[in-house]
Chain A
Amino acid sequence: MTSAGEPDVGVRVMASVQRRRRGRGATRTHWALYLFPVPALALVVAFLLLPLVQSFQYAATDWNGYSATYKSMGLDNFIHAIFNDSLFQNSVVNTLKFTLVVVIVQTMLSLLLAVLLVKNSRLNIVLRSLFFFPTILSSVAVGFIWAFIYDPTFGLMRGLFQMVGLGALSGSYLGDQQAAIYWVAMVQIWFHAGQLMVVFIAGLQLVPQELYEAADIDGAGKWARFRSITWPMIAPATTIVVAYTTIQCFKAFDLILGIAGNPPGTALDILSTRIYTSFANSQYGYASAESIIFMAVIGIVVLLQRWALRLTQARE
């Protein structure tokens, strides 16, 4: 069976072999084992965790990245960014709009596609590979493609609107200050819905068929079956999809630069591009403060989502 929707074959086989808990033969750890994680740990500590700490240190200064002197700013950078910098506020709002739309629409779409393609028929497998395909392209390339499709004079999107007789509604897309971020959200969905569809397919294939058979005996309708069996049973997959999608959205840096150029205009400026702009303007201290706020925003969003998801996943 060459199922395209099977995650990590090896892990699952081995997972069944395991289950016999450890701890029995509690021999002491061989001293040489402590050396094994050292290279990985050294790199991560030196180049990820230490810079993270330094980031807080930088954030309290006005250092410009090259001069020998700098002023201590205390919390001023944070205060300025949160309360007085409308470009930064704008990028937070754009990031949240983008993430909200993508998380909701893409999760629903990829679940719908997964439900339609869950059976391992030949056609379904072909379609899965096709839908998955955009994921492997580079974001910059995807940005270029869609910048062309959204061209208000020559682009395909305008042609599509005209074809269905709505030519008058065709706008300036990426030039539309209010809507541009949603047009890019659509690109992100085109780009990654197929990848998360596969995660859902893996989740769906783990739902025991007996549950559905029991529901059939009870005479449950389609929606009731979905609501009371499928949705709660795929909760782990949904959690993963939502969290991963959120992080992907916050990192949409490459896609934005590909589609909007560098630097992007305010309508498409998101947190990660804003931080890069500050960095490029040699505001190292300020960029660090922005990036710490960025981390906090991601944290809050992920926690809120967990909470919201859990509410819907409770079995009735």
Chain B
Amino acid sequence: MNSPKFSDPISRRNVMALFGAGAVTTLLAGCAGPGSTSVSTPAAGSAFTGPATGTVSFYHWRGEDKATFATLIDRFQKQNPKITVNMTITTSNDYLANALPKVRGGGLGDVLPAFRGAQFVQFSQAGVFTDLAGQPVVKDYTPGLISAGLSGSKQDGLPYQLLLIEPIINEDVFNKAGADPNPASWDQTLNSCDKLKSAGYVPIAFPGADSGNSSQLLNSMVLADQPSEDAFTQIEAGKLKVTDDWFLAVLKKYQQLGPYFQPNFLGSSQASARQIFVDQKAGALSTGSYDIATVRQLGGQFPIGMFFPNTLASPKSGWYKGVYNATFILGVNSKSKVKPAALKWIEFLSQKDQAEYYANQTVQWLTLEGLNYTNPDLKKLAPILNEKLSLDEKFLFLNQDIANAVYAACNSAASGVSVNQAAETAQKIIDQARSQ
């Protein structure tokens, strides 16, 4: 019953058939009832045998890294003249929401990353990835850091980037205002913000209109109050509610922090918030270490550090010093027609010198072993990676509507809406999404 495959070129017969009036009945009979598409299971075993040639579509969300990837693609193609790599970039919000249906046909994303957590699970369950276990390239990675790419015993992907997910700061501004970038409690966090504000700065530039970036702060904000580390999973399962006391406490903190964001922050895009920071009018920028390269590109020359908004009621030893994430989980599309070439591209990105180039250009640590970081920002901030860090938890949300409802609750609490009202609005959406 099934007609040609997803990306088959149009045959002349197809064309003729479409225009022949008689074909209408064929169409009626032949296709497009619910369930009429068959699901093919990826062939097991020798997925990567065969010649490494062809055009590899590389689909991702890192607009910041475009130029660096372009250089790497150039180098790669010189080494492998029979392979072409085409890069397609979209926004992280779009990638999170819309990537799955686009890649599952195989027309896009021969090599593709997944966000750690929900999206990776979703991709794995949908059979998007090809198992990489046993491939030599896996050995290049730090074993403890690539578990996020495991699905059962299958190595579906390799987390590539290692990020600090907490606000970045302008150390000059912090020094001038006498603000402490390492608060040991929530009071001290607010105190730092207060000092920045009195000195005439925006304490934290916050991209309120961009849920993907503004929600990064949530990872830090929940740490002291959450009853367990998988709290977000439990919210989604209905076992915890955002109307519970612990989450109201989190929202309360957002409400206290709101006055330290720039005015009308709910309308600020990431670019707009970042520009305030680049202009040296803000102490901190609430995104993450992945934004440093762009700040530098835009002409920010001040010393950059990290700011961990500590939410403890009182200082406690052995507490977290920040939040990290191992993400950009690179894998090979199971529907790809150029798997050997796709794997070659991943292997190339995992080579020491190429990985170092990528890391130093884009100011990101990687999960590969034994890399030499020469970028001054990377070198300076690297010691934080040895501290006690919490793993980014917000990617545990599997349902995007639920995640967005929780993020919206945080932002509206920060903008002055009562915490109860913000929580109830969100819980209503969560309940409805769960009932579907």
Contact = CB atoms under 8 A, between A and B. Distances in A.
Indicate if A touches B (C-beta under 8 A): yes
B264 interface: yes
Interface in B327-369: none
A108 interface: no
Interface stretch (A13-21, A150-158, A290-298): A150-158
B100 A175 contact: no
Interface in A193-233: none
Contacts of A80: 435-436
A68 B35 contact: yes
Given A150-B267, A265-B404, A58 B98 contact: no
A221 B414 CA distance: 55
A153 B435 contact: no
Contact of B209 (A70, A175, A263): A175
B101 A266 contact: no
Given A87-B401, A154-B275, A282-B101, A175 B265 contact: yes
B218 to A, nearest CB: 16
Interface stretch (A130-138, A166-174, A247-255): A166-174
Interface string A76-99: 000010001111000000000000
A152 B268 contact: yes
Interface in B404-436: 404, 408, 412, 428-429, 432-433, 435-436
Contacts of A286: 436
B167 interface: no
Contacts of A152: 262-268, 272
| Interface residues on chain B, size class | 35 or more
Interface stretch (A4-12, A38-46, A116-124, A306-314): A38-46
Nearest to B401: A87
B209 A266 contact: no
B31 to A, nearest CB: 10
Contacts of B38: 68
B24 interface: yes
Interface stretch (B55-63, B89-97, B106-114, B244-252): B89-97
Nearest to B25: A46
A69 interface: yes
B100 A282 contact: yes
Interface residues of A, number: 50
Interface in B6-35: 19, 21, 23-24, 27-28, 32-35
Contact of B39 (A67, A154, A280): A67
A70 B32 CA distance: 14
B93 A172 contact: no
Interface in B134-192: none
A284 interface: yes
A279 B100 CA distance: 11
Nearest to A54: B32
B272 A154 contact: yes
B372 interface: no
B408 A266 contact: yes
Contacts of A102: none
Nearest to B400: A281
Contacts of B390: none
A61 interface: yes
A175 B262 contact: no
Given A63-B34, A280-B101, A42 B21 contact: yes
Contacts of B262: 152-153
B208 interface: yes
Contacts of A61: 34
List 3 A-B pairs, minimum CB-CB distance, nearest first: A175-B266, A175-B267, A172-B267
Given A153-B276, A172-B268, 19 more contacts: A46-B23, A54-B32, A54-B33, A57-B33, A68-B37, A70-B35, A84-B436, A152-B268, A153-B268, A153-B275, A170-B264, A172-B209, A172-B267, A175-B208, A175-B209, A263-B93, A265-B408, A282-B101, A284-B34
14 contacts: A39-B21, A42-B19, A45-B24, A61-B34, A66-B104, A69-B35, A80-B435, A86-B429, A86-B432, A153-B268, A176-B266, A261-B94, A263-B93, A266-B404
